[in-house]
Amino acid sequence: MLKKTPLYDVYKDYKGVKLIDFGGWELPVNFENGIIDEHLAVRKNAGLFDVSHMGEITVEGPTSEEFVNWLVTNDVKKMDDYQCLYSPMCYPHGGVVDDLMVYRYSPDSYLLVVNAANTDKDFKWITEENEWIKNRNDAPTIKNVSADYAQIALQGPKANGYLREMVGPVVDEIKFFRFKDSIEIGGQSCIVSRTGYTGEDGFEIYCDSSAAAKVWNTVLDHTKDRGVLPCGLGARDTLRFESKLPLYGHELTQDITPLEANLSAFVKLETEDFCGKDALVKQKESGVPRSLRGCEMIDRGVPREHYKVFSTEGDEIGYVTSGSKSIMLDKFCGLVLIKRGIGLKIGDEIEIEMNKKRKRAKLVKTPFYKQT
C-alpha cells in the first residue's frame, strides 16, 4: 500500500490532479494546469509544493556537532545557529549515501532533511552502519521524526512578498540558507527556511503533520487569485533540472562521487576527517575520472536517463543522468556524466544513442537557465 502525506486528503479530489507512485508514496505529478504552467508559475510568480514525503532526522546531545561534521562532507563547524547547509553524505569509498540539508539549532542540536526514498536507508546508516557509531560509546541521540513533520515549499520570485503579507516583516529577516522557528501561518507554528530546489527564491515551511492542511490552505487561499499554483513532482523535476540541481539516483549515487558530480564546493577536503575523505582525496590527487556536463540536442530527440554518450570519433565516453525539455529555453537538454581528460569543451559535439541511432548534441554551460 502506498504511503500518503498529511496533505493527500486535501488535494486528492482536486480537479485534474494526477497522482502517481513515487518511491512508494502516492503523490501528485501535476495538478489541473499541467507541468508547463506550474513550471512557469514558479519561474515568474510562485508555486506551492507538497514535499512532506521528505525525511527528517534529529541529532541531539554533546557530541552532535562532532558526529554530524564527520558524517557529511561539508564543514558543519563553520555553521551559525539557525543556518542551513547543503552537503553530500558519503560512504568510505567516496560514493554517496544521500545528499541532504543540515539545519543547526545549536552545536548540540541538528535537524537533517533527507530524500524521501532514502529515509530508512539513511537512518540505518546514521544510527548503525557507519564507523563512528560502531567505534564510539558517546553517540548523540538520533531519532527519525519524519512522521511528525509536514513540509510545504513556496517557491518563486514573488514568494517573499506573499509570505510577508501573511506573517509580517519577520520573513525579510530570513536570509538565504537561514531559518526561523515559531512563525505562525494560519494559526499554526512553523519552521520557515529560505532554501529550495527550483533555482528560485523561496521557502520551505515545516509544521506538525496535524497542521499541514491548515497551512497549505492558508497559503493557497491567500495567493491563488494572483496566479500561484499548486505544483507537482513533474514541475519540481523540470525546475531542478534547468537549474542543474542534482537528484539522488541520477546525478548522485553510491557509484558517483560528489567530485564527479561537480559538487567539490560542498566537499571540504581541507577539514578534519569525515567519512569518505581518504577516498575523495585519493580521487582528486589521481585525477577525477568523470565530470557532470550539460548538453543541448542538435538533432531531434530526448536524452533519457542511462542513454549512452559517444564522442564524434565513436568512442563511448559516458551516459545521460537526466534529460528533459528546458521549458524556459524551449530546447531538449541533458546532464551527462562523461570521461574527463578527453579535451571536450563548451560547444563541442557529442553523440547520444537513442533507439540504436546516434543523435548529435553539443556541450553547453550550466545551469541551463538562471534568473537574471
Cell of 191: 519552521
Query: Does the pLDDT at position 123 exceed 80?
Result: yes
pLDDT band at 350 (very low <50, low <70, confident <90, very high): very high
One domain, residues 226 and 308: no
**What's the pTM?**
0.97
Q: pLDDT value at position 316?
A: 98
> What percent of the chain is modeled with pLDDT above 70?
100
One domain, residues 23 and 163: yes
Please, which contacts does 321-324 make with residues 24 or more away whose CB atoms are closer than 8 Å? 321/250, 321/251, 321/292, 322/241, 322/247, 322/250, 322/251, 324/237, 324/238, 324/241
Mean per-residue pLDDT, 234-261: 98
Q: pLDDT value at position 371?
A: 87
Q: pLDDT value at position 211?
A: 98
φ, ψ of residue 44 to 5 degrees: the values are -110, -20
Residue 359's identity, in one-letter code, is K
Site of grid cell 496566479? 227
Mean per-residue pLDDT, 5-34: 97
CATH number where 356 lies: 2.40.30.110
> CA of 48: how far to CAs of 83, 158, 163, 209, 363, in Å?
23, 12, 12, 17, 33
Domain of residue 235 covers 8-52+148-242
One domain, residues 25 and 172: yes
One domain, residues 159 and 238: yes
One domain, residues 294 and 238: no
**Entry field: residues in the chain:** 372
Tens digit of each residue's pLDDT (9 = 90 or more) over 73-121: 999 999 999 999 999 999 999 999 999 999 999 999 999 999 999 999 9
Work out how many domains the chain is built from and give that number: 2
Q: Quote the mean pLDDT of the chain.
A: 97
* Distance, CA of 296 to CA of 352 (rounded, Å): 11
What is the sign, positive or negative, of the torsion defined by CA atoms of 151, 85, 232, 355? Answer: negative
Tens digit of each residue's pLDDT (9 = 90 or more) over 37-53: 999 999 999 999 999 99
Tens digit of each residue's pLDDT (9 = 90 or more) over 142-184: 999 999 999 999 999 999 999 999 999 999 999 999 999 999 9
Tell me how many degrees the CA angle 212-40-49 measures, rounded to the nearest 5: 15
Domain presence at residue 127? no
One domain, residues 307 and 224: no
